[in-house]
């Protein structure tokens, strides 16, 4: 029980555990109180010290959907967090709720700028202990609209981050994507599977190929320069703050359902996906970063509850009490002529489970409840 209370205090960023300057501010009484809590916790959970060493964390794309949740989780652990984001798909709204938070005062630093700004990245990488590289051109719809810029951000941007991490010998995690697997039909997809793409005039594959190139580059830095780099292949990650603007299916359906518009299902709707709650994903990212055995390896991160997109649409209509209909739209209309979708996308998660004990904790119904509440709040419904 005592461990649970103390863990809750740490998780919530309670000042009693948040940082050493806080104990200095509280004077002798505060210092003694802190010391007792730490001693008690250390006795109850001896590996606490390993987990509690506060880090300087740089998150590229930190005002994005996943990046902002990661920043918040690191702040709650007591880390000092630096983010850089050019707000191309991210938003300051994603970080405003904790930007002004008293608990994080003096520990959260935001740079609105690009990872291509060499001087800024030099400084930020230099002062950080570890780097989470989340910045990217994300989502097939965005990539089809901005093909050249997307390739540049995903390939040259990642190379830039890796180069600086190698220069300063900083451990780095690269966010890759389940898209890299391409058009497989089998499930689950495991890290050692082959990769199958369509031809290069079908631009939807450029996202997959650019993320795959990131993985090759990261692993080459590991092999040739000894850079501690971890590759995280994220499957569909969902939760509050995700925008439906770039085609992400759950927020898009939730917005359509709540405004009683038809839910637009692409293709026949029999394609399947799994969805993982963003806070579960963030836990996995932090665990991968903390583990000494993970560098040089690729890990799937995803959920295992497979659902067709048609069933998902029906579920969202029910969960939001909507009167919306479902409208099927051919892929060629929704995206481009001869658009190819991945029919199944289910991760094998044995590798990450064995390495860091990751298992998704939040079920789809709970995820949908939270996303619907978030969309309602954003839309003032």
| Binding region for ligand NAD (CB under 6 A) | 60-61, 63-67, 84-90, 114-116, 134-136, 138, 153, 157, 175, 177, 234, 236-237
Of 143 and 258, which CB lies nearer to ligand NAD in the complex structure? Answer: 143
Of 66 and 286, which CB lies nearer to ligand NAD in the complex structure? Answer: 66
Q: Shortest gap between Cβ of 250 and ligand NAD (angstroms)?
A: 10
Name the helix (H) or strand (E) containing 299: strand 298-301
List, in order, residues 6 or more apart from 148 with CB less than 8 Å away. none
Of 105 and 145, which CB lies nearer to ligand NAD in the complex structure? Answer: 145
**Cα separation, 116 vs 118, whole angstroms:** 6
Rounded alpha-carbon distances, angstroms, from residue 275 to 154, 161, 254, 281, 302: 23, 28, 14, 10, 7
* Distance of alpha carbon 64 from the chain centroid: 9
**Cα separation, 63 vs 59, whole angstroms:** 9
- Our separate counts of H helices and E strands in the chain read 18, 13
Of 83 and 372, which CB lies nearer to ligand NAD in the complex structure? Answer: 83
Cβ distance 243 to 251 under 8 Å?
Answer: yes
Q: Shortest gap between Cβ of 17 and ligand NAD (angstroms)?
A: 28
Q: Shortest gap between Cβ of 313 and ligand NAD (angstroms)?
A: 18
The closest residue (CB) to ligand NAD is: 90
Q: Shortest gap between Cβ of 134 and ligand NAD (angstroms)?
A: 4
The token duo for 347 is: 């991760």
207 is catalytic: yes
Rounded alpha-carbon distances, angstroms, from residue 4 to 32, 53, 65, 128: 21, 19, 29, 30
Of 38 and 109, which CB lies nearer to ligand NAD in the complex structure? Answer: 109
Cβ distance 285 to 70 under 8 Å?
Answer: yes
Catalytic residue among 181, 207, 221, 266: 207
Q: Shortest gap between Cβ of 149 and ligand NAD (angstroms)?
A: 9
Q: Shortest gap between Cβ of 70 and ligand NAD (angstroms)?
A: 9
Of 63 and 258, which CB lies nearer to ligand NAD in the complex structure? Answer: 63
Of 6 and 180, which CB lies nearer to ligand NAD in the complex structure? Answer: 180
**Cα separation, 327 vs 244, whole angstroms:** 17
Q: Shortest gap between Cβ of 342 and ligand NAD (angstroms)?
A: 12
**Cα separation, 98 vs 140, whole angstroms:** 30
List, in order, residues 6 or more apart from 224 with CB less than 8 Å away. none
Is residue 336 classed as helix, strand or coil in its secondary structure?
Answer: coil
The token duo for 335 is: 């995206």
Cβ distance 300 to 349 under 8 Å?
Answer: yes
Known catalytic residues are 207
């Amino acid at each position: 029980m005592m461990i649970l209370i103390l863990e809750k205090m740490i998780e919530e960023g309670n000042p009693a555990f948040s940082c050493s300057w806080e104990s200095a501010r509280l004077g002798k009484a505060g210092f003694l109180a802190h010391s007792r809590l730490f001693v008690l916790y250390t006795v109850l959970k001896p590996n606490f010290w390993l987990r509690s060493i506060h880090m300087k964390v740089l998150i590229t794309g930190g005002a994005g959907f996943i990046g902002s949740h990661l920043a918040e989780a690191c702040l709650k652990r007591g880390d000092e967090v630096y983010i850089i984001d050019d707000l191309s798909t991210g938003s300051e709204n994603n970080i405003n709720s904790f930007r002004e938070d008293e608990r994080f005062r003096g520990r959260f630093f935001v740079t609105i700028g690009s990872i291509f700004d060499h001087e800024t990245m030099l400084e930020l990488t230099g002062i950080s202990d570890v780097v989470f590289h989340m910045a990217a051109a994300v989502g097939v719809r965005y990539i089809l609209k901005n093909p050249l810029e997307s390739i540049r951000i995903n390939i040259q941007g990642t190379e830039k981050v890796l180069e600086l991490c190698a220069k300063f010998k900083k451990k780095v995690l690269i966010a890759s994507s389940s898209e890299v697997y391409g058009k497989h039909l089998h499930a689950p997809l495991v890290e050692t599977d082959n990769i199958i793409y369509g031809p290069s005039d079908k631009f939807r594959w450029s996202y997959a190929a650019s993320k795959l190139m990131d993985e090759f580059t990261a692993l080459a830095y590991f092999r040739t320069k000894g850079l501690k780099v971890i590759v995280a292949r994220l499957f569909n990650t969902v939760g509050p703050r995700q925008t439906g603007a770039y085609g992400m299916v759950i927020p898009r359906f939730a917005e359509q359902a709540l405004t009683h518009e038809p839910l637009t299902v692409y293709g026949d709707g029999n394609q399947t996906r799994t969805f993982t709650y963003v806070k579960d994903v963030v836990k996995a990212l932090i665990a991968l970063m903390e583990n000494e055995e993970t560098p040089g390896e690729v890990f799937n991160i995803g959920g295992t509850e497979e659902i067709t997109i048609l069933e998902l649409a029906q579920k969202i209509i029910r969960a939001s009490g909507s009167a919306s209909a479902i409208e099927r739209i051919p892929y060629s209309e929704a995206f481009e002529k001869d658009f190819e979708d991945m029919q199944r996308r289910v991760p094998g998660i044995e590798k990450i489970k064995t390495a860091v004990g990751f298992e998704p904790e939040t079920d789809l119904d709970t995820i949908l409840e939270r996303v619907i509440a978030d969309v309602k709040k954003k839309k003032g419904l």
